Each structure stands twice: as structure tokens, then as C-alpha cells.
Structure 1
Amino acid sequence: MGGLDKIFETHRKVVEEGFVRAGDLKYKNYAVTTLRGGVGKSTLSFNLAFEMSIRRPMLVADVCPQCNLSETLMRDETPEVTILKGLQPVLLGPAFGEKPSDLSYRVSQYCGAFKTTKPSYVVPGDAEMFAFPSTLYQQLQLAHSQSNPKAVKSLLESLKNVLAEEAKEKKAEGVLIDTSPFYAGGTHLAWCAADALVIPVRVDEHSIESLELTLDMLHNNKRDFAVWNERAGGLSVPKVAAIVMTMVGSKSRIRSTPDRASKMYVERALSIAEKFYHAFDVSDPADAFVLTDDFVSSGRISGAKSIPISKLQIGGFHTVEGKRLQVNSSVTRYQRELAYLVSVL
């Protein structure tokens, strides 16, 4: 069976039979990353945070200046401590104060769904992260100009070390980082902090281009990420644990059968993945592909109401932005797709 047929057959088994893979989460540190906005990354990150928290205590970090994940986990709150408060003293020194001794918040205090999971915590995002890249690269350039690879390494691993300390303090056994759709700054540090990446790819032209760009930036020795890794004395590159194709089958009326356009985009994504086969933690990149449907109302409800998709009840009504939405039977399909995704990780 070819890689493309394998992907579609696995998706059929997931949707129709509830197929999942055996085993626990393989890594400690994950980052959800894509260089394309509007693909459902924050909704995916929220649901992954919940599903992972069922399995182990988690520390969830938001390094995206849009702070969508923070808003979903801490609805209508304005946290005093943010990820930037943890990073600034490390990057800029004591003039910016000391790193807060308590950097995270217990998620279950703000999001009721997490009262049923293992104890999990969130390090909130900060809108000031928009300006963070200039701060980071000024410090990196200074360290590099002084021929100090140890300082470069310390800067690149600042997020990793800050989160490791916080995870140890809160007894979290896993870390999930939500990144911005821009490489520079927080996303760069997230790649340095992660053991494995989850890459959402919407079935559209720009997302396919973004996938190729992401994989090339990770593994092209002439790209910025590899250049700085080398300047740091050689840092490891995170493996790609999953490529999550989103909005698949949105125009198909046949159960578990993607529409023609979706199939074409999945095929193109697989072709790109196969060119970068060494980027994956499986021998066949097709095994890292997870197809997810257009969540439509269920996804909107999940993000807007801070309710994980696996907790949505068929027939339930929710008001989102003045519109009354109902959870239909297709939510079962979404729940199975998410369960399979976590089993891949």
C-alpha cells in the first residue's frame, strides 16, 4: 500500500472504528507550530492541551502575541505574570528584575473542563511578544560578535530552561507550547525548546507552501535556524511528530471520504514530507499524517466557550458571537480524530 492510500485507509479506520495507536506520549516537550495563520492552530492547541492533560500533568505555554490560547484557557482574565516576564530577566539581565518565582496558573481555576484532568498549568502569552524578536536578535548578535557560543546557546535555550524550571516546580511531566505564525522570536525559541513538533496544515495553497518552508527552515543549513544552532555549538533539531491536515473533507458528503480537492492537497503535503523524511520520528512520513475534518460549529464552540471537543454533547446548544449553534452528530468524528492524533504523539 502506498503512502497516500495508507493515510486515507487509516483515516477511514479512525472515523468508522475509532482506531487509535497503542502507547503513551513519546516526548516531554511539544510545540504546535505553523508559519500560516487561520488554520485552527489555537483551537487545536487547546484541545491537545486537554487531551494530554488526561494522560499526564502538563505545563502549557503561550508564546504567540495574539494570546488566543491564553484567552481560551483563562477566559476574560488579565494575568499579571506572563511568558515575557519569565524571559526578559534571562535575556536582558537583572535590570529587568528577577524571573517570577511562580510563572504559571492552575488551568482548572479558570477552565472547568480541566478539573477532570491531571493537574495542569498555563504560562500565559503577552501581546508585547510582538516586539520580542528585536530584543532576542540584538542579544544573539552581541553574543556572536564576542565569539561566545555558550552565551548564544544560553539565549537560544532560555525558553527551554525557563519552562523546565517551572515544570519541575509544578511537577508537570509534559510541556506543550503554542507558537505564533511568525518564525522570529518566540517561535524560534519554541523550536529550540521542543523535542517534537505538531504542524497543522490547512488544505489550501498557502498552507502547503508554509509546510515546505517550515521543513526547509528546520533542516536547511543555510537557513537562520540552522545557522544559529551552529553558532551555539550545535543544538538538536526537533522531530516532526505529526502533520495535522485540517479542513479535510469539508465539501464531501460521504462519511470518512475526503473531497477531491482535499485529496490533492494531502497528496502534495505527503510529497513534501517525503522529501524531508529525515525530519520525522517514523520511518514512513505517511505514518505521521493525521486528517481532521472541518470542525465548523463544534470548533467555534470549543474555542469560544473553552469546551474541549471531546466534552461537547450531541444536540447541545451554545451561543457564540450572538449566533445560536448546535453540536451535531459529526462531533463524534472530530473526537475520534483528536484521539487518534494524541495516540500518534
Structure 2
Amino acid sequence: MSINKIIARQAAYYSQDAGEWANSAYASEYPEITALLNLNLPKHNRYAVCNLRGGIGKSTLTFNLTYDTNDIIAVDTCPQSNSTAFFTRGQPASGTTIYDALLPYLLPRMSFPSRIAQKIERLNPYFSGKNAYFVPSSANLYEFPSIMESALSQARSIPGESDKARSQILNSFKDLLDRETRKYNISKVIIDTSPFFSGATHLSWHAVDSLIVPVRTDQQSVDSLQLLIHLLRDPSRTFLRAQESLELSQPKIQMVVVTHCGWSTRAGARNEPNNQTKVYLEKVHSLVANNIDLFTTDDPDNHVVPLDDFLGSGRIASANQIPIKCLEPQQSFTIEGQRVEVNASVEKCQKQLSFITSNIW
């Protein structure tokens, strides 16, 4: 299967108008630039950013997509707390964590906390003026899967009420988000998940409309995407097995964001992926096409989106907890005693993030 349409969109980012696009090498195959840049995806309110592997870029993507919209609640369910550190600018999180908020659903004698989501602008000035909230993570989430499994085990043993009790547990995150979004009159939610499925990641799948799956340009990441697909499809795996006989919502995949992409430096090559990027774009595209029933449309070209390696800009953004959209070419920062400068390539990353945002919300 061809990835030409996916590559053509990279060129389309830079065209200022239809006249300029008409002179593009891709215009004969894709004459309508507006149509090319519209993925025709259903617009959902709640997303989980998920891949069952660490180091993919889930937290970075969550942080930047949160910044790039408004009226949103971001939730960090990974015990490593990477996105929490972005939102708090590296300061220790205070207040109610997602662990605190979910625990009363599993241990009924506990009281529910009244204040959960926090305004991000109070902790990270780059969010000043944005109606954006977040719920921090906790290292206690490492213990959450065993607590959840114990609660489900007890629920299974309740005579005549087993299904109801299991549904309440598996829908607990959804119920929590329903309450928080009503409280703040907000519809959008994005969840940063753990590389491990058990526990809060499992609950997040029942709480969202669809998944955004970051995949690096390496085989381990593609294997992780395959594992995620198995979890969505195979009734013998944890996700479907746990909801046996229950009528619960389950997400489809909205988008696979192929991260750390690189582009050819060959003379005359423009917006052409390098060999490694091309290989993995093709692998991901094939995997999507072969499992298209698990996606939100029936066209695999709609669901694969390349995202450049952030390189030095990513290092600067991560070290200073700055959204990529807030960086400008030639800005200088000091990191670990070294003076570093934002490269002009940051503008392409910004366009790519805008493209993702405009197609999901």
C-alpha cells in the first residue's frame, strides 16, 4: 500500500495558498489542498494517549496537545509522572492525584475528594489565559493494579449484583471525568497513560471515545502497536475478558502518530522521508489497513500522521517545561551549563502539532 498521500500532506503544510500548491510535485495527484489536509475524522471529546511501551513520546504529546487547545482537562495516569512534571514545571505536585480520585471507587468506605482538577496556569505560566486543567499522577499508581484486581475479584463474588459491581468499577474513571467536566463546563479530556495496561490505563480505555497512539520509528514500537491491537480485539486478553457479559463502551483508534521522523537530505529531495522513516511509515500503514475495523474510519490514510524528531527544540522544551508552540527560532537557553539555540525546524513541528489538533478536536 502506498504512503504517498501521507507524505504529500507534509508538503501541504508549507503551501501558502492554492496557487503555490498547484506548482507542487504532489498537486497532480492531490489537486485540492484543503481536502488533502482534512483527515475526515470524527471529532471526539475524550482521548487517551496510549502505547504499551515507554519512551515513545506519550507525555510530550499529551502536554503539547493540551496547550494547543482550550477548555480541556489533562490527566496523568502514569506513575512516572512525566506529564505532571511538564504541567508543574518540575515542582512536586500537590493536591488530589488521580490515584486519590479513583481509590474511593474501589474502596467504597473512602470519601470522594471534592477538589480534583487544578488550573494549569497557576503552575505553568505558559498556559496563562488558557482554560486548561490537569489532574496529577502519583507513584502510588504502581500499586493500583493489585487494588483494582482485588476489587474486581470481590465484585465477581457478589450474588446477583456481580455485573453491576464490576460495571461500577470499570466505569469509575468515566464517572470521575463526567463529574469533573460538568463542574468546569468543559468537554475535552486528554489522558496520558502508563506503558503498563493494568490499572488506570485499563480504566482509561472505558473512559474515552478513542485512542491516540504514538509510535516511534523502530520495530519495538510497531510491536507495541500490534500488542495494543490484540488487546482491543482478542476476547482472551485482559481488556475484553474483564468486561465479559457487560455492555461497556470501548474505544477505537483515532490516530497513530509516528514520532521521531526524519527526512531525506538528498539534493533535490523535499518532504521526502529518509529510509528508516519510510520503512516504519509503511509498516504502520499496513498494520492500520489490516485492522481498519478498530479505527474510527475505513481509510487507513486518515489515521497515520508523521511527527518530526523534535531534536534540540525537544530538549529545550522538555528541560524548561515549555510547549513547542511557545518556542521561536534562534531563541537561546542554557541547559546544564550549555548554551543551546532553537533551530528553525521547530516551525515544522509546530505546524504538525496544529495539524493533529485541527483534526481531532
Give the TM interval when normalised to the shorter protein: over 0.9
Structure 1 range deviating more: 263-272 or 222-231: 222-231
Give 2:61's aligned residue.
44
Partner-residue secondary structure (3-state), 1:134: helix
Matched, 1:136 2:148: yes
Say if 1:154 and 1:15 are closer, same or farther in 2 by CA, change over 3 A.
farther
- Measure, in 2, the Cα distance between the counterparts of 1:127 and 1:197: 24
Higher helix residue share: 1
Give 2:185's aligned residue.
171
Of 304, 307, 332, the match for 1:317: 332
Following superposition, the deviation at residue 251 of structure 1 comes to 6.6
Structure 1 range deviating more: 166-175 or 316-325: 316-325
Following superposition, the deviation at residue 255 of structure 1 comes to 4.0
- Measure, in 2, the Cα distance between the counterparts of 1:194 and 1:322: 42
- Measure, in 1, the Cα distance between the counterparts of 2:113 and 2:355: 37
Partner amino acid for 1:13?
Answer: A
CA contact (8 A) 2:53 2:224 kept: yes
Give 1:241's aligned residue.
254
Give 2:347's aligned residue.
332
Matched, 1:73 2:72: no
Task: Answer with 1 or 2: which has the greater Rg.
Answer: 2
- Measure, in 1, the Cα distance between the counterparts of 2:332 and 2:214: 28
Unaligned runs of 5+ in 2: 18-33
Following superposition, the deviation at residue 297 of structure 1 comes to 1.3
- Measure, in 1, the Cα distance between the counterparts of 2:187 and 2:40: 16
Give 1:162's aligned residue.
176
- Measure, in 1, the Cα distance between the counterparts of 2:225 and 2:125: 34
Give 1:187's aligned residue.
201
CA contact (8 A) 1:67 1:126 kept: yes
Matched, 1:108 2:121: yes
Structure 1 range deviating more: 204-213 or 315-324: 315-324
Say if 1:141 and 1:251 are closer, same or farther in 2 by CA, change over 3 A.
farther
TM-score (norm 1): 0.92
Matched, 1:11 2:23: no
Deviations 1:56-75 (A, max 9, x none): x1111111101111111012
Following superposition, the deviation at residue 291 of structure 1 comes to 0.3
TM-score (norm 2): 0.88
- Measure, in 2, the Cα distance between the counterparts of 1:62 and 1:8: 32
Partner amino acid for 1:38?
Answer: G
Following superposition, the deviation at residue 17 of structure 1 comes to 5.4
Give the share of equivalent positions with the same residue, in percent: 35
CA contact (8 A) 1:102 1:166 kept: no
Give 2:23's aligned residue.
none
- Measure, in 2, the Cα distance between the counterparts of 1:203 and 1:234: 36
CA contact (8 A) 1:25 1:342 kept: no
- Measure, in 1, the Cα distance between the counterparts of 2:66 and 2:265: 29
Partner amino acid for 2:134?
Answer: V
Following superposition, the deviation at residue 344 of structure 1 comes to 2.2
Following superposition, the deviation at residue 319 of structure 1 comes to 2.2
Deviations 1:140-176 (A, max 9, x none): 1221233611111110111111122112112222111
Of 47, 63, 82, the match for 1:30: 47
Unaligned runs of 5+ in 1: none
Q: CA RMSD in A?
A: 2.0
Give 1:272's aligned residue.
287
Residue correspondences, number: 337
Following superposition, the deviation at residue 252 of structure 1 comes to 4.6
Say if 1:294 and 1:109 are closer, same or farther in 2 by CA, change over 3 A.
same
